[in-house]
Amino acid sequence: MRLNEDFYTQDALLVASNLIGKLLVRKLPTSEIIKKRITETEAYLDHTDTASHARFGKTERNKIMYQQGGYSYVYLCYGIHYLFNVVSGIENSAQAVLIRGVEGFNGPGKMTKIMRIDKNLNGVNLMISDQIWIEDDGYKAKCKTTKRIGIDYATDEYRNKKWRFIME
């Protein structure tokens, strides 16, 4: 079953932990469907989170984060890798969850490459899209929490938050 608005409009910490074990589904233009279980996420909260793209306010790049939960936020990192995020929370809360890994592929750049996710999927409504969405097949996953990675620019307080979720 496809995830709905009630799921996505929750706080990013709840969405991040509850995405573990769900299925990321990508339908390619050839009608081929790729389904992979989500194994790793990271939560990014509003403008107060110094690791978040919202920390400097609303910009052209991050404006999707200000939508209500359920939209995709895809951006280019280091000019090399596209990273895929799920917007969460209520409208203007600027929260998102980075999908860092799926079964067999750890790392957000590797994940988007195998799932064929690029900038063309930025701003897609995951609740109705026929290109990309997330499903709950009833699988119950356990996860552990650790510190987020790759956020050296954040303050100590936010670098040390255990907002990374990994399937056990």
The 10s digit of each residue's pLDDT in 96-130 is 999 999 999 999 999 999 999 999 999 999 999 99
Q: DSSP code of 39?
A: E
- Average pLDDT of the segment spanning 131-146: 97
Output b/e per residue, 41-72; b: 16+ Cβ within 10 A: bbbbbbbebebbbbbeeeeeebebbbbbbbbb
User: How would CATH label the architecture of 5-167?
Assistant: Roll (3.10)
Q: What is the pTM of this model?
A: 0.93
Domain ranges of the chain: 5-167
pLDDT in the model for residue 60: 84
pLDDT in the model for residue 58: 85
pLDDT band at 132 (very low <50, low <70, confident <90, very high): very high
pLDDT in the model for residue 135: 98
Q: Which two tokens stand for residue 136?
A: 């709950």
pLDDT in the model for residue 163: 95
What pLDDT digit, counting tens, does each position of 24-33 carry? 999 999 999 9
pLDDT in the model for residue 140: 94
Beta strand pairing call for 143-146 and 81-88: unpaired
For residues 152 and 34, which has the higher predicted lDDT (pLDDT)? 34
Residues in the chain: 168
What pLDDT digit, counting tens, does each position of 36-92 carry? 999 999 999 988 888 888 787 788 888 899 999 999 999 988 778 999 999 999 999
pLDDT in the model for residue 159: 86
Distance of CA 70 to the CA centre of its chain: 10
pLDDT in the model for residue 75: 92
pLDDT in the model for residue 101: 97
